């Protein structure tokens, strides 16, 4: 296991102190459900409809829904409600739109096919270690 994968969640957050509180909560909720390939794209310098993308994957439909549910529940505790949710029933790509940021929870094959990280390759990329 790499040294990067052994960092604690506190160390991870120290490396990305510029993340707004809601995005940090979304990331922690996804981490708690063992999301894979967790990445935050900072799109503020790009001409985009959102400031950030939170992108992650689940290994199956149940985990994908659990990650999405955990994110929505964590943000609801502070009164944040998504403006729009797409893909929940199919659970291949759940999109949760919070205006300033969008959470994308993918099935691995769907994530590879659409390649959001490649499409927004010029965005600052903040990666988080894989779950154990």
| Helix, strand and coil percent figures for the chain, each rounded to 5 | 35, 25, 40
At 128, the pLDDT band (50, 70, 90 cuts) reads confident
Q: Could you tell me if residue 17 is inside a domain?
A: no
The answer to whether 24 touches 14, Cβ cutoff 8 Å, is no
3-class SS at 128? coil
Residue span of the structural domain in which 99 resides: 29-127
Which of 16-30, 34-48, 91-105 reaches the highest mean pLDDT? 91-105
Task: Calculate mean pLDDT across residues 100-113.
Answer: 97
CA atoms 41, 42, 47, 50: torsion sign: positive
Q: Is the pLDDT of residue 93 over 90?
A: yes
Residue with tokens 């659409």: 114
Count of the separate structural domains present in the chain = 1
Q: What is the pTM of this model?
A: 0.84
What pLDDT sits at residue 53? 95
**CA separation for the pair 106, 95 (Å, rounded):** 9
Q: Could you tell me if residue 113 is inside a domain?
A: yes
Token duo for residue 26: 């979304």
Q: Could you tell me if residue 15 is inside a domain?
A: no
The backbone torsions φ and ψ at residue 114, rounded to the nearest 5 degrees and listed phi first, read -85, -30
Task: Calculate mean pLDDT across residues 71-79.
Answer: 97
Q: Could you tell me if residue 86 is inside a domain?
A: yes
């Amino acid at each position: 296991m790499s040294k990067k994968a052994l960092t604690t969640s506190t160390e991870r957050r120290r490396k990305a102190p510029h993340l707004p509180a809601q995005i940090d909560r979304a990331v922690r909720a996804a981490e708690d459900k063992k999301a894979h390939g967790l990445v935050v794209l900072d799109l503020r310098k790009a001409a985009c409809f959102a400031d950030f993308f939170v992108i992650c994957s689940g290994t199956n439909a149940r985990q994908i829904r659990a990650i999405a549910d955990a994110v929505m529940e964590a943000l609801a505790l502070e009164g944040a409600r998504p403006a729009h949710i797409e893909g929940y029933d199919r659970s291949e790509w759940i999109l949760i739109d919070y205006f300033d940021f969008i959470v994308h929870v993918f099935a691995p094959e769907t994530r590879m096919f659409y390649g959001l990280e490649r499409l927004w390759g010029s965005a600052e990329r903040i990666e988080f270690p894989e779950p154990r």
